[in-house]
Structure 1
Amino acid sequence: MERRRLKILSSRLLIKLILPFLYMFIAVGSKAQKQLSGLVVDTNGQPVMSASVIIQSSDSAEHNVQITVTNVDGKFLFHSVSFPYQLIIQHMSYSDSYVNDSVSNVRVVLKEKDNTLGEVVVKGNRPMVKTTNDGGISFSGNQIRQRRLVETVLDMIEALPMMMKSGESLMLMGATETSILINGKKKILSDEQLANYLKTIPVSEVKSLDVYYSTPPKFGVRGASVNIVISAPKHEDLHFRGEGFVSANYSNSMKFDGGTNFSLSSKKWSMNAGYTESNAAKLRNQTLETVHTLDGVNHHILQTTQTSSISKDKTAVMNLTISPNDNVGVDVDYTFLHKSPRNNINFNSLIDQQCINGNTFSRYGSDTHNVRVALTYKDIEFGGEYEHFQENADQIVMLDKNQNIDNDHNQSYRGLNVYFNGESELFNHTIEYGIDGTLRNTTNYVGENGSSESLMKQKELETTAYLGIRIPLGKKGFINTSIQGEFINSTYKRNNGYKEKLWRDFDIYPTFMLMYRFTPLHIIQASLSSTKYYPSYWANASYSSYIDNYSRIEGNPQLNPSRKYALNVNYIMRSKYIIGLFGESHQNYFTQLLKLKKDEIAAAYKYYNIHKSQRFGVMAIVPLNLIHGFESKFTLMGFYMHQEGSIDEITLDKTKVSGRASISNTINLLGNKLMAEIDGWVQLPVIQGLYDVKAMWNITSKVSWKTPIKGMSVSIKVDDMFNTLRSRVQSNVPQQRFSFRSYGDSRIFSLRLSYIFNGYKAKERKTIVNDRLGF
């Protein structure tokens, strides 16, 4: 009995000794170490960089504290923390935020301090570029806004290191054509229409500009592109924001531009609208000199023209974005564009000492309506787009006021597009797939003097499908390869006759992309792609439009599509220096050329195919910051050109070594309140079919001041300060010897006043935002 009592006492004592250790084990087990990631944004949904994030266990008995800071995207990461935890987020411009939770990713919204002493900008040695998951080179919109004087999205595109501007066209270095995308979609706009459209987008909403030398198939375009990633503003409560601007521009006369945009947004939806009105007046002079041989007789011709152009353009956009949760999104977009240029050409022709004076008056009017709807669910997107374009043009040519030529040109276009894109994970690989279908109907009408008429109706069916795979190379990079098939069937009817085939093609376009990070600051990117370019509807139409009594513009119904193969390799060092190699080969390359006619004393601008056009070269982008407050960026490109083929009976085989250099300088005065820029570039001589194009150069300057009135800024800009942007072209081909020089009022003085205002904002509530958000 005594032994039994002793056993019971011993058991109870053992239990009392084991229980504390058991409790300690359970407590420790309940605080397992896990990874925690997060995102810190402001009330506009923009990432907050360099915010201090302090974490400790919610158990006050533990004293393990870790500290980190958010990166340029507002993200932070702790590899091992105890759950539950307490976060403290601090930033000098925002109120402190406290979070107690047990989730593995957290989203924190910081609110601006009410007692901030003006605006403070902290600049560090942040990376200039980074790479995207689909092989692009991404430039932070916030970083561009801080480092450059950008007032429109067009300014942001022009500020990209590898971007070149030729006239109104924008091209990436090492590429001959570049598509401008907005959230992965391309607008069917002319260069001038695109510039007006980009003025309606607030620069504050641009999250990044992503550069692709081989555009992913899901975007619906091939070749090089720049994707403007716009992040619709989201707020915890209903919020209104707007911006208005007015600018005065002087070249040969004073013209005014103006516009406004606004957004109304909450946490799950946003509505954006914008309107701009642009008034342009341009004056251009051209001199053409040639010896025109006809039936063995040489005719000496000196043609001078002066073109004055006045245009009033209107652009209106509206966008509605609905995101009920992180998996579902609906996007509706509407665009309206109106263009009404008037051109007046005064010409003087001296043909074998015989002088002829005249005038050509042209009046155009076009309207474009575009509606796009997209629905996304997780990694799947389904959408459609409808576009209607109508243009009417009248032209009157008067020769010595005793002979008139009256022309009418009309074009009507309707296009419907439906697409589907998706991606899935399979054995640690990402599979991308999609299909796209487009129907187009175009009617071109040309009438001359009310007697001669030409009507061409063109119908196109285009379908594409693609399949791609992204193969990870450990944590260092990936290979992204895809294959895309395209079928296009284009038919036309002339003057309501029988249906004829214009082209019926099936093509396959393979692409290959390699992205590899040797270190986070040293990256190599390589891409191999192919694409096909189809002529515009006017280029393929049978028509003639007079410039003066000697030269005209003609369509070419025999014009064929061109095929291009391109290779680009870029090495990014220290996330800011870029060295690149590029090569491209065009088959059936088409371009517009001036050609002297064989059967009359006249010359025609017309698109022609060239059998082969090749270009190979190197480029380098070098940013420098040698002096505080003074930043420079040098861009250099050298290349070899070769063009071979025939234009009618003329045989071509031409080569040229050329290059381009540019420099961009930004000077910070009074912090970021007063900034100045001066940019310049020089283009060495190049070849273009029959042409030998002489060198060109240009210098532009700009000063911007953020006034003491919050939200108001003033800028002064001078395009082409020394009025040097002149085109000089000559042809030394036998029977096609001519030269012409074109120059105009490219020197433009602009004064712009803009104001950003915040209207209604729901009353703030003293709550801590702790929404879960995956990356």
Structure 2
Amino acid sequence: MKRILLLLVYSVALLAAGRSSAQSVRGRVIDQAQQPIVGVAIVMLDADSTYVAAAASDADGRFSIQSAVRPYRLLFQHLAYEMQTLASDCDDTGETELHESANSLEAVVVEGEKPIVRVEQGRLAYDLEAVSKGKAVNNAYEALAKLPGVSEQDGTLTLAGAGSVAVILNGKPTTMSAEQLASLLRSTPVDRIEKAEVMYSAPPQYHVRGAAINLVLRRGSEHAFSGEVHGNYMNRFYSNWDAGGNIVFTAPKWSAEAIYSTGQVKAKRIIDLNSQHTLAGRLHEIIQNQNITNEATWHQLRAAAEYAPEGKGRLSAAYTASFTPRNDGLSRAAGSLVNSVSSPSGDNAMHNASLRYTPVSGPDLSLDYTRYSSTQSAAMQNRYADGSETAFDVLSGQTVDRISFSLDQAHGFGKGWELTYGGVFGWAGDHDYQHYTFREGGTAAENTDSHLDEYTANLYAGFSKQFSKGSFSFSAAGEYYRLGRYDNWSLYPQATLLWTPAEGHLLQLSLSSDKTYPSYWEMQEATSYIDGYSEIRGTPGLRPSKSYSGQALYMYKQKYTFMLFWNEMPDYFIQTAWQAPDRLALVYQTLNWDTNRQWGANVILPLRIGKWLDSRLTLTGLRMTQRCDTFHDMAFDRSKWLGRGALDNTIRMSRKPDLTLELSGYYQTAAIQGTYDVDASWSVDAGAKWTFDKGRATLSVRCNDIFEHSLPFAKVRYRGQYLDMDSGAYTRSVTVHFAYRFGSYKEKKHRKVDTSRFGH
């Protein structure tokens, strides 16, 4: 605690040392008809005419340049207009009117391909509307998956060459789980996103480490009302549905929004096991079929408001909640060893409140509080082949309270230099319990009831330099972390160099480090049963995983991407299965490995033929190495080459009616995961989208994993362990989506709540 107090005192001293913060210069560019002009290049110079920063006007003619340089000069440049110069020291330049160039050509139409990516302050800024234009994309989440190098794997977004990627909104990390974030982004129209900033090494002021995508959301500046209603039907063996809507009010000084969605989901999972289990020198051939179904009803709610008077800072508040009042399941297992029936049921709820204040001068302050609670009960009955029986009831639950406070400060020094520093301080309290009531026979399971307190204190400092052909940034964050008896100090360096040696050429070098924490439930000394043979065991003392990654990226003509990457993850943790040596049990347990290393290359090649075909080919090759010296007395050190190719095609069938088709697929070679050997996997997806009623209504149909080969067959043949696992049934899904928009979409968006470490 003394160390934490010292860190707090140090952070307060840092804040007291400076009064200025990162400011922005914003304005709007219009023509003589008072219409907005898109694509105007705005270049900022200081009093000595030295380059400071640059930006481009958006579809509404608006621009924003992050800089504290005062006074300054702005140069407005556009091929069709005369260059304008503006000298000022204000944060808001108002409206700047440009006059058409006297040398502009009339009656000549020049068609070109709009660049989908720009370089802005060391980040790759993608125009999501341009990326998704003409594609069967219904919302912001689907548009993110269309970014070069971004793909969806097992329900989460990944970035080629970096692995997992964090999604943050308006420069702040989300505080929702990946599932909740995906659900809300699926209800967000693409045109509400101003741009998506892709960072392979996020600066520390974003409070995420490693790769990140920052969604910058449009802000309203006039009185407006807008909204959307949508509905989805999906069939994946069972029929599922969800529906919802959102409304947005905007005004010059304030904005407010409300989002609500609800749905019902029912899923089936089939797992076929063939376990050749050796016990006391005798081989037992165990063949089990696990049939698991789950049905749940869920609700999500969000309400947010922002007050931002001109030149007086910004105050925003948000409340987010998710509820699952009904979550029922049925698990049946039949086979040569045991017939089992389990009927779990439960509910959970999450509440999050956040408050953020961004002053004109001074530190950016934010406060966040989350409460999560869940309860679950289950009755299990096992009938073994030898005639014995066991039956028991289990009651479990979890309550998590988490609060965090962050502050961020930045100082501009002119000539492109900027200093940033700040900190994050957090506490979380977790209460987990699991109680058994035995009705027949007995097991080795014991009741558990535990409390964990988690403390985190993080301080960072860094600098960046903008120069005429690129930028450079470096930072270091020191973190103190304590969970129970585990105590750790860590240092996280970050560096990015971006260089554009000539027009059409871009080189970016990135270095980042991160730490990933296991869920609270995984760290409990508790055992949960899937059936009479398979069980999930907790791991007390499970350590966080560190990661160090580097990328060398070259982009040609803002389209063609070539990358070399390297990722090293000490103390990597993941859940794997092993056959217990002292009894007939297949144990799933999360353990720390010594390392998980990947290095390789990635190529992204777009192809466009006329106005009817837009394709993108992504190729990845890597070498993976996994080592664990303490894996149940079965140490492993394994390596394997892996390749993956993906092809996405968008076919414009017609413009009247507006009909688009999509056909995409991927193939991945065999891989390894600890002692597992994982077969090759592949998938083919197809979809169609119809846009009508002047673009306000969309209807789309999509079929994913048409041939049901996305979940590969896995096996273990390692040091006496023999296991076959096939879980590839019922992976095909058909989705029908309808959405209708009303009003005009010009506004801001929301933060989310991270619940990735909650739940059993």
Q: Normalization by structure 2: what TM-score? A: 0.82
Matched, 1:39 2:28: yes
Which residue does the alignment assign to 1:367? 349
- The partner residue of 1:210 within 154, 172, 197 is 197
Q: Deviations over 1:742-773 (max 9, x none)?
A: 02322111212211112999xxxxxxxxxxxx
- The partner residue of 1:739 within 704, 724, 730 is 724
Matched, 1:591 2:574: yes
Question: Tell me, what secondary structure is at the counterpart of 2:133?
Answer: helix
The equivalences for 1:443-592 within 5 A come to 443-449=431-437, 452-472=446-466, 474-491=467-484, 501=485, 503-592=486-575
Which residue does the alignment assign to 1:346? 332
Distance change >3 Å, CA 469–CA 290, structure 1 → 2: same
AA aligned to 2:671 is V
Q: 1:200 touches 1:317 (CA, 8 Å); kept in 2?
A: no
Q: 1:234 touches 1:270 (CA, 8 Å); kept in 2?
A: no
Q: Deviations over 1:641-660 (max 9, x none)?
A: 11122212111011100011
Which residue does the alignment assign to 1:173? 160
- The partner residue of 1:303 within 282, 285, 288 is 288
Which residue does the alignment assign to 1:146? 133
Which residue does the alignment assign to 1:415? 402
- The partner residue of 2:655 within 660, 671, 677 is 671
Matched, 1:156 2:138: no
Matched, 1:377 2:359: yes
Question: Aligned equivalents of 2:330 and 2:219: distance in 1?
Answer: 43
Question: Aligned equivalents of 1:162 and 1:613: distance in 2?
Answer: 21
Question: Aligned equivalents of 1:550 and 1:343: distance in 2?
Answer: 19
Question: Aligned equivalents of 1:294 and 1:479: distance in 2?
Answer: 59
AA aligned to 2:632 is D
Q: 2:446 touches 2:526 (CA, 8 Å); kept in 1?
A: no
Q: Normalization by structure 1: what TM-score? A: 0.81
Question: How far has the Cα of 1:46 moved from its partner?
Answer: 12
Which residue does the alignment assign to 1:652? 636
AA aligned to 2:472 is I
- The partner residue of 2:425 within 433, 437, 453 is 437
Which residue does the alignment assign to 1:700? 685
Distance change >3 Å, CA 160–CA 710, structure 1 → 2: closer
Which residue does the alignment assign to 1:132? 120
| Higher Rg | 1
Question: How far has the Cα of 1:397 moved from its partner?
Answer: 1.4
Question: Tell me, what secondary structure is at the counterpart of 1:181?
Answer: strand
Q: 2:400 touches 2:429 (CA, 8 Å); kept in 1?
A: yes
Question: How far has the Cα of 1:233 moved from its partner?
Answer: 2.8
The equivalences for 1:108-257 within 5 A come to 124-133=112-121, 135-235=122-222, 238-257=223-242
- The partner residue of 1:330 within 298, 302, 315 is 315
Question: Aligned equivalents of 1:362 and 1:128: distance in 2?
Answer: 48
Question: 163-172 vs 707-716, which deviates more?
Answer: 707-716
AA aligned to 1:164 is S
Question: How far has the Cα of 1:552 moved from its partner?
Answer: 0.9
**Which segments of 5 or more consecutive residues in structure 2 lack a partner in the other structure?**
1-24, 43-55, 65-75, 99-108, 439-444, 747-760
Question: Aligned equivalents of 2:201 and 2:191: distance in 1?
Answer: 27
Q: 2:366 touches 2:407 (CA, 8 Å); kept in 1?
A: yes
Question: Aligned equivalents of 1:624 and 1:759: distance in 2?
Answer: 33
AA aligned to 2:564 is L
Question: How far has the Cα of 1:520 moved from its partner?
Answer: 4.2
Question: Aligned equivalents of 1:386 and 1:520: distance in 2?
Answer: 47
AA aligned to 2:522 is A
Q: 1:52 touches 1:90 (CA, 8 Å); kept in 2?
A: no
Question: How far has the Cα of 1:148 moved from its partner?
Answer: 2.7
Which residue does the alignment assign to 1:80? none
Which residue does the alignment assign to 1:607? 590
Question: Tell me, what secondary structure is at the counterpart of 1:721?
Answer: coil
Which residue does the alignment assign to 1:7? none
Distance change >3 Å, CA 433–CA 392, structure 1 → 2: same
Question: How far has the Cα of 1:145 moved from its partner?
Answer: 3.9
Question: How far has the Cα of 1:215 moved from its partner?
Answer: 1.3
Q: 2:708 touches 2:732 (CA, 8 Å); kept in 1?
A: yes
Q: 1:358 touches 1:400 (CA, 8 Å); kept in 2?
A: yes
Question: How far has the Cα of 1:604 moved from its partner?
Answer: 1.0
Question: Aligned equivalents of 2:499 and 2:745: distance in 1?
Answer: 47
The equivalences for 1:629-648 within 5 A come to 629-646=612-629, 647-648=631-632
Question: Aligned equivalents of 2:584 and 2:110: distance in 1?
Answer: 67
Question: Aligned equivalents of 1:710 and 1:224: distance in 2?
Answer: 34
Q: 2:238 touches 2:266 (CA, 8 Å); kept in 1?
A: yes
Q: 2:132 touches 2:146 (CA, 8 Å); kept in 1?
A: no
Question: How far has the Cα of 1:741 moved from its partner?
Answer: 0.7
Question: How far has the Cα of 1:729 moved from its partner?
Answer: 0.7
Question: How far has the Cα of 1:320 moved from its partner?
Answer: 1.0
AA aligned to 2:398 is Q
Question: Tell me, what secondary structure is at the counterpart of 1:391?
Answer: strand
Which residue does the alignment assign to 2:47? none
Question: Aligned equivalents of 1:720 and 1:583: distance in 2?
Answer: 30
- RMSD over aligned Cα, in angstroms? 3.2
Give aligned-pair identity as a percent: 25
Question: Aligned equivalents of 1:211 and 1:51: distance in 2?
Answer: 22
Q: 2:138 touches 2:698 (CA, 8 Å); kept in 1?
A: no
Distance change >3 Å, CA 470–CA 52, structure 1 → 2: closer
Question: 650-659 vs 181-190, which deviates more?
Answer: 181-190
Q: 1:234 touches 1:268 (CA, 8 Å); kept in 2?
A: yes
AA aligned to 1:168 is G
Distance change >3 Å, CA 530–CA 103, structure 1 → 2: closer
Of structures 1 and 2, the one with the larger relative CO (CA 8 A, separation 6+) is 2
Q: 2:459 touches 2:478 (CA, 8 Å); kept in 1?
A: yes
Question: Aligned equivalents of 1:461 and 1:46: distance in 2?
Answer: 53
Distance change >3 Å, CA 529–CA 461, structure 1 → 2: same
Question: How far has the Cα of 1:607 moved from its partner?
Answer: 0.4
Question: Tell me, what secondary structure is at the counterpart of 2:188?
Answer: coil
**Which segments of 5 or more consecutive residues in structure 1 lack a partner in the other structure?**
1-35, 54-68, 78-86, 111-120, 492-500, 762-775
Question: 606-615 vs 717-726, which deviates more?
Answer: 717-726
Q: 2:142 touches 2:186 (CA, 8 Å); kept in 1?
A: no
Question: How far has the Cα of 1:471 moved from its partner?
Answer: 2.4
- The partner residue of 2:339 within 357, 361, 377 is 357
Q: 1:200 touches 1:275 (CA, 8 Å); kept in 2?
A: no
Question: How far has the Cα of 1:413 moved from its partner?
Answer: 0.4
Q: 2:129 touches 2:190 (CA, 8 Å); kept in 1?
A: no
AA aligned to 2:320 is T
Question: Aligned equivalents of 1:760 and 1:632: distance in 2?
Answer: 29
Question: Aligned equivalents of 1:623 and 1:504: distance in 2?
Answer: 48
AA aligned to 2:341 is N
Which residue does the alignment assign to 2:5? none
Distance change >3 Å, CA 746–CA 73, structure 1 → 2: farther
Question: Tell me, what secondary structure is at the counterpart of 2:635?
Answer: strand
Q: 2:151 touches 2:157 (CA, 8 Å); kept in 1?
A: yes
Distance change >3 Å, CA 48–CA 549, structure 1 → 2: farther
- The partner residue of 1:49 within 9, 34, 38 is 38
Distance change >3 Å, CA 758–CA 437, structure 1 → 2: same
Distance change >3 Å, CA 444–CA 701, structure 1 → 2: same
The number of equivalent residue pairs is 666
Matched, 1:281 2:266: yes
Question: How far has the Cα of 1:361 moved from its partner?
Answer: 1.6
Question: Aligned equivalents of 1:382 and 1:71: distance in 2?
Answer: 28
Question: Aligned equivalents of 1:710 and 1:627: distance in 2?
Answer: 23
Question: How far has the Cα of 1:346 moved from its partner?
Answer: 1.3
Question: How far has the Cα of 1:364 moved from its partner?
Answer: 3.0
